[in-house]
Amino acid sequence: MMDSKEAKEAIQALAGELMEVRRGMAAKVVYNVSGLYMNLVGTCFIYRDDLHGEPEGLILPANLSHQSIHIASFIREHCYVKDAGTWYSMTFTLNPDNSADIVLNFDDEPLRFGQSLDPEQYELEMLKFPVVESKRPTWLKSKFKSGSM
């Protein structure tokens, strides 16, 4: 899945974007991306050790370059497994020592940070990243009428 050269380069590019957000501070940056095809949303938090685990501030998507969402979308495409789908959310943590942790969610409905999706978004998702019905999460099955998709 994420073993391809292109995916590894995309992950390095995303880490570079998050290093820019950190502005040289010794801090942990947590970037959450969630959504479906053509409709990803990202949020970013900075955690400094002297804040006792409380985030310093929410960096809204507008404060990140648009490149961050494009990179996440690229990574999502490279994680697609035929008939099984791809992730619905990703948490990318850049640690103070510049190591990174990535957690991918393949099962739970993506958080939309207060935004709702049009029903057509689920159809676009299945066209771009087909998942056989037997492998669809329950929440995704419920988005389709019986027999459609």
Please state the domain extents for the chain. Answer: 5-141
Alpha carbon 75 to its chain centroid, in Å, reads: 9
Average pLDDT over every residue of 82-100: 91
At the fourth CATH level, which superfamily is domain 5-141? BH3703-like domains (3.30.500.20)
pTM of the model: 0.82
Q: pLDDT category, 114, cuts 50, 70, 90?
A: low
For residue 60, the model assigns a pLDDT of 52
**Best-predicted range by mean pLDDT (2-11, 16-25, 58-67, 93-102):** 93-102
For residue 32, the model assigns a pLDDT of 87
Of 35, 60, 33, 34, nearest to 46 by C-alpha is 60
Whether 138 has a pLDDT exceeding 80, the answer reads: yes
Whether 80 has a pLDDT exceeding 90, the answer reads: yes
Average pLDDT over every residue of 87-113: 88
For residue 37, the model assigns a pLDDT of 83
* C-alpha distance from residue 72 to each of 12, 24, 100, 131, 136 (Å): 11, 23, 15, 20, 22
| Mean pLDDT score across all residues of the chain | 81
Whether 63 has a pLDDT exceeding 70, the answer reads: no
Distance CA 113, CA 73 (A): 17
For residue 62, the model assigns a pLDDT of 47
Phi/psi of residue 70, nearest 5 degrees: -65, -40
